[in-house]
A and B are shown apart, each in its own frame.
Chain A
Amino acid sequence: DTEVTQTPKHLVMGMTNKKSLKCEQHMGHRAMYWYKQKAKKPPELMFVYSYEKLSINESVPSRFSPECPNSSLLNLHLHALQPEDSALYLCASSQVFLDGGYQPQHFGDGTRLSIL
């Protein structure tokens, strides 16, 4: 069983809808990540939070809005998405080294998102 839990597992939404993806980890990790993965491609980093602060935004369109309410939770708010945004959205978490290094990332099962 994964220790990073993502909900929902599947989501179908229209281009005018607003929805949110949720991620929760109970591993005591202080870094959390959102990735997007298209079929037969590697995961692409979208956002990184470290100690609940946004550390990295990989020039993601504003129709994706991340939020980190606390050290265990990570949300991704979706609005006015396009069909090309259909993909598997993965959440991951990791420890943080004090020297800035980082530990391996542990992934949740993902949310498979389809935009109609």
Chain B
Amino acid sequence: QKEVEQNSGPLSVPEGAIASLNCTYSDRGSQSFFWYRQYSGKSPELIMFIYSNGDKEDGRFTAQLNKASQYVSLLIRDSQPSDSATYLCAVGSGGFKTIFGAGTRLFVKA
């Protein structure tokens, strides 16, 4: 059974701080890794994807991938109250299947 694990949170950080969200996955053959943001009552919104080991930066967001440790993370710099949402880690393990983690709820306190 392929699994994607996330801490459900809530993770609470003050405005302006760095939020660090973590995810582990069980299938060593996984090739693609995605982070989605989902506001309450809304659909998931893609914010980052990464395929290779290392860091990938896009604005305030940095995705980090370590395939040896089967670990992927998302850093949000200068966190804003508008970043408060559930963050879903998703892993592609072949074909068209994407396995989603249960999500981490993030609260950014003003």
Residues of A within 8 A of B (CB): 2, 31, 33, 41-43, 45, 48, 50, 55-56, 88, 90, 94, 100-110
Contact = CB atoms under 8 A, between A and B. Distances in A.
Interface string B89-108: 00010111110111100000
Interface stretch (B44-52, B54-62, B70-78): B44-52
Interface residues of B, number: 21
Interface of B: 31-32, 34, 36, 42-46, 49, 88, 92, 94-98, 100-103
Contact of A42 (B43, B46, B49, B102): B102
Given A56-B95, A104-B34, 11 more contacts: A42-B101, A43-B100, A48-B97, A55-B96, A56-B97, A88-B43, A100-B94, A102-B32, A105-B34, A108-B43, A109-B42
Contact of A105 (B46, B95, B102): B46
A110 B45 CA distance: 12
Contacts of A45: 97-98
Contacts, number: 54
B45 A107 contact: yes
What are the 3 A-B residue pairs with the smallest beta carbon separation, nearest first?
Answer: A42-B100, A48-B96, A107-B43
A26 B30 CA distance: 29
A42 B96 contact: no
A41 B95 contact: no
Contacts of B88: 42-43
A109 B49 contact: no
Contact of A107 (B32, B44, B101, B103): B44
